Amino acid sequence: MTIDSYANRFVCDLVAYEPGKPIDETARELGLDPSSIVKVASNENPLGPSPKAKAAMKLALDDAHIYPDGGGFRLRSAIAESVGLDRSNVVIGNGSNEIIELLCHTFLNGRTGLIAAEHAFVVYKLMATLFGANYIEVPDPGFVHDLDGMADAIDESTRLVFIANPNNPTGTMVDQAAIDRFMDRLPDHVIAVFDEAYIEFPENPPDTLRYVREGRNVCVLRTFSKLHGLAALRVGYGLAPAHIAELLQKARQPFNVNAIAQAGALAAINDREHMDRTIQVNREGMAFYEKELAARGLEFVPSFANFLLVKTGSGDRVFKEMLAQGVIVRAMSSYKLPDWIRISIGTPAQNQRCMEVLDSVLAASTTA
Ligand SMILES: *Cc1c(COP(=O)(O)O)cnc(C)c1O
């Protein structure tokens, strides 16, 4: 018997997360310059990092020999201030993905379960598998979370309900009335997790922080990876009533967010100009795609986020053929959407190029 057979069964069962194809790898394979590759595969900020964050991180390098502030005092204070909560309500993580893991560490085991929508962010399912928990998927007609159906699916063993809002990869959003109805039905043994990685993009997003303030069983997840353009740094956070936040704090590694990342995030949170510009570029890019896709009769899901789900047919093939021309989008077969691709909104030049390459790939497939 090899050592493999002694490995934790849940780890063996895991299907590794498949990230967007890296630019360097693509450039190497195609023999192209990395700067000529358009990556619109991971909902990153096409304007790059907040310039204020970049400056702060350069300064922070001088102290790279010192362990970070494990308690994240300054960053947690700044986050709390930005959302009108107390520092005791804030848990920072190595990406908001780590907060998802901390929630699972804290509340899941083999006798418990979690609930998510059928086309929800895939990390919830990976984590359920890792912790041996029962994963319940609730159908989402029209790609919109059915919160009533999700509340119906709750039973005695349920501990977490994940609501990605706006959701990735669908871009859809549930409204305040649906959330309020859901919260009215939430039993005491369940935590509602609102994953709000894209919450800054829609114009009138629902308010879930009121439930944190009221001390309800909620955790709101946010990230510096999207709006602030700091995906490489890995900083995200959870907002929860203090007693829940305290449990999550116990479950984390002592220095889970590095000092460079903390310095960058702290500067980014006050960089209103970069945030506004990002939102503006996203609005214009979204309008461009909506118009161009409609003109071609291509179906897409109206999106509240910084990406679009587009029905091209044969998503894997479209992905590969676009990749061969240096444009990286995301195939959606791992989300059980084999006919769809997901395109992140880029700069005007990237959007134009992506649309041209999509055109050429679709034209070739109709003549073939
Ligand atoms: C991108 C994304 C995140 C952010 O993950 P980080 O670990 O903070 O980079 C979280 N949830 C969803 C639904 C996302 O799409």
How many Å lie between the centroid of ligand 1 and the Cα of residue 181? Answer: 25
CATH of the domain at 344: 3.90.1150.10
Sheet with 299-301: strands ordered across: 299-301, 307-311, 340-344, 330-331
Q: Specify the ligand 1 atom closest to the Cα of 43.
A: 1
Give residue 332's pLDDT. 96
Give residue 365's pLDDT. 80
Task: Output phi, psi for 175, to 5 deg.
Answer: -95, 175
244 and 170, same structural domain?
Answer: yes
Give residue 331's pLDDT. 96
Q: Percent of the chain scored above 90 by pLDDT? A: 90
Q: Per residue in 181-235, pLDDT tens? A: 999 999 999 999 999 999 999 999 999 999 999 999 999 999 999 999 999 999 9
Give residue 21's pLDDT. 86
Final residue of a structural domain among 268, 285, 320 = 268
Look at residue 310 and give its three-state secondary structure.
Answer: strand
How many Å lie between the centroid of ligand 1 and the Cα of residue 235? Answer: 10
212 and 276, same structural domain?
Answer: no
Give residue 298's pLDDT. 97
Q: Which of 44, 94, 101, 121 to mutate to test the pocket of ligand 1 (most atoms within 8 A of CB)?
A: 121
19 and 72, same structural domain?
Answer: no
Domain that holds residue 263: 51-268
DSSP secondary structure letter of residue 17: P
Q: Specify the ligand 1 atom closest to the Cα of 224.
A: 8
* Average pLDDT value for the chain: 96
118 and 75, same structural domain?
Answer: yes
pLDDT at residue 366 greater than cutoff 80: no
Question: Number of folded domains in the chain?
Answer: 2
pLDDT at residue 367 greater than cutoff 80: no
CA–CA gap between residue 63 and residue 130 (Å, rounded) = 36
288 and 172, same structural domain?
Answer: no
Q: Which of 223, 227, 239, 307 to mutate to test the pocket of ligand 1 (most atoms within 8 A of CB)?
A: 223
**Do the beta carbons of residue 248 and residue 238 sit within 8 Å?**
yes
185 and 254, same structural domain?
Answer: yes
Q: Residue 172 has which token pair?
A: 């859809």
Give residue 18's pLDDT. 80
Q: Per residue in 281-318, pLDDT tens? A: 999 999 999 999 999 999 999 999 999 999 999 999 99
CB atoms closer than 10 angstroms to residue 181: 13
Task: Kindly report the protein residue whose alpha carbon is nearest to atom 15 of ligand 1.
Answer: 168
The answer to whether position 1 is within a domain reads: no
How many Å lie between the centroid of ligand 1 and the Cα of residue 156? Answer: 29
Q: Specify the ligand 1 atom closest to the Cα of 236.
A: 8
Q: Across residues 153-177, what is the average pLDDT? A: 98
Give residue 312's pLDDT. 97
Give residue 368's pLDDT. 56
Q: Give buried/exposed letters for 153-180 (b at 16+ CB in 10 A, else e).
A: bbeeebbbbbbbbbbbbbbbbbeeebbe
216 and 96, same structural domain?
Answer: yes
